[in-house]
Structure 1
Amino acid sequence: MKMKQIALVAMIAGLGLTGFALYEMKRISDAKGIVSSIGKRISSNPFGRAANKGLMSAVSQYDTQIRLCLIGGIVLAVGGFYFYRKHR
């Protein structure tokens, strides 16, 4: 494969990864709202409080992973665009 083709594939993959990350961030936002509304209902029970804390921890960890995925997608797309322009 030529360098131009590799750069084009990297740019398209970066755009796809960025789109996926943005879609997942919307779903994470919805999940945080659901978990917080459930937490308000079960916070009187100590087991419910612990379960809610665990759920929020899991959602927060997934949020961090998706943010890193978003950054990686942007870097991949910009790098692919740079090399595509360079190897014209």
Structure 2
Amino acid sequence: MLSDRLAHLTRTGVVERHRRPGWPPRVHYTLTPNGHRPGTVLQALWDCGMQTPRPAGWNNSPCSTASPPCCARMTPATGRPV
């Protein structure tokens, strides 16, 4: 469950939990320095993969049913496409 995973990440120091006042109760999570640490490793893996020759027909455009599988580059901080 999501709440169990967030509790585990909080206990292990990957994220910090911030409760916001008011009703209904609201909680905000932020990455700690330990949570940001894997970002450099993941970026290095991504860069290495991007230097690997692509098979015929491969493209880096957004995925669709008409194109072969592809990946959108994600920002480490948000996990959203660049």
**After TM superposition, is the score higher than 0.5?**
no
Higher relative contact order structure (alpha carbons within 8 Å, sequence separation ≥ 6): 1
| Larger of the two Rg values belongs to structure | 1
TM-score, normalised by the number of residues in structure 1: 0.36
Greater strand proportion: 2
Greater helix proportion: 1
